[in-house]
Structure 1
Amino acid sequence: MSSSRIFARSLSSSAKARAPPSGFFARPTGEAQTPARRRENRANVVAAPHTPPHIPSEQSPNYPATWSKSQNPRPKAMQGPRFEQIDFNLQPLPLSAMEMIHREPIRLTKKRVVACDGGDGPLGHPQVFINLDKPGPKACPYCGIRFEHDHAHH
C-alpha cells in the first residue's frame, strides 16, 4: 500500500476509516477513560497542610495579636498548598508599626481642623482633613499620627 493511499484512507469518512486506530499514537476509547464523577471527586480533594509547631504563633515580634478585624492570625493565614514547602524560619517577620506610631507624640494645634498628607510629598498619602472639635486625640486614618486641639489657646 502506498503512503498516499494510507493518508487518504485516514482522512476519508467511510466506515472502513472509522475502525479503531492502533499504534503508538492511538487515542484511548471512551470506556478506558475515568468516569466524570471520579474526576470531580479527585478535583475536590485538596491538600490540607498544617502549620508546623515550631512556627511562632505571634503576629509580629513586638505585637502578639491581630490588630484588624479582617486580619487572620499568622498560623491560620499561612495554610494551604501555597505554603506547603516553605521554611518559615527563613520568612520575614516584620515589626508592627503600631508601637512606633504610639511613641509618636500627639501634635497639639490651635486649629479646629487639621490637614494630614503623610509628609514627604509624593511619598506621603492623600490629604485628609481631621475635625478636632470633640475632646481627645484624633488619628489620621492613613498614617496614624494623632492630633489634638489645644483648648488653652481659645
Structure 2
Amino acid sequence: MPDGTPNTPTEIVHVKTRSVSCDGGNGAYGHPKVYLKITGAQITCPYCSKLFILEPGSVDHSH
C-alpha cells in the first residue's frame, strides 16, 4: 500500500488442498479469477488480500 501500512486479510479461509482459486466474491464487484498454489502453510490473494490457510494434516491430491 502506498502509505506503508501492511495488507491485512479481508477474509481468512481454511482449505484442505494446496490449489485454490479466488475471484474476490461479490459477483461483478470481485476481480479476475486467479488460481493460487499454497507452497508453505498459507497464501494471500494478490488482488483482494484474502488469506488461504492450509489445514494441518491436509494431503495434496493434485498433479
- The TM-score with structure 2 as length reference comes to 0.70
Whether 1:137 and 2:42 are equivalent positions in the alignment is: yes
The answer for the alignment partner of 1:111 in structure 2 is 17
Q: Point out the structure with max Rg over C-alpha.
A: 1
Out of 147, 150, 154, the position equivalent to 2:52 is: 147
Aligned-partner residue type, residue 144 of structure 1: S
Out of 4, 21, 26, the position equivalent to 1:120 is: 26
Aligned-partner residue type, residue 143 of structure 1: C
Of structures 1 and 2, the one scoring higher in RCO (CA 8 A, sep 6+) is 2
Residue deviations 1:70-92 (CA, integer Å, cap 9, x gap) = xxxxxxxxxxxxxxxxxxxxxxx
CA contact 1:106–1:137 (8 Å) conserved in 2: no
Specify every segment of 5 or more residues in structure 2 that has no aligned partner in the other structure, as ranges: none
Structure having the larger proportion of residues in strand:
2
Residue deviations 1:123-148 (CA, integer Å, cap 9, x gap) = 1000001101x223211000001112
> Which structure 1 residue ranges, 4+ long, deviate > 4 Å from structure 2?
none
Structure 1 segment 19-98 matched on structure 2, within 5 A = 66-67=3-4, 98=7
Say what the alpha-carbon RMSD is for the aligned residues.
Answer: 2.5
- Between the two proteins, the alignment pairs up a number of residues equal to 58
Specify every segment of 5 or more residues in structure 1 that has no aligned partner in the other structure, as ranges: 1-64, 68-95
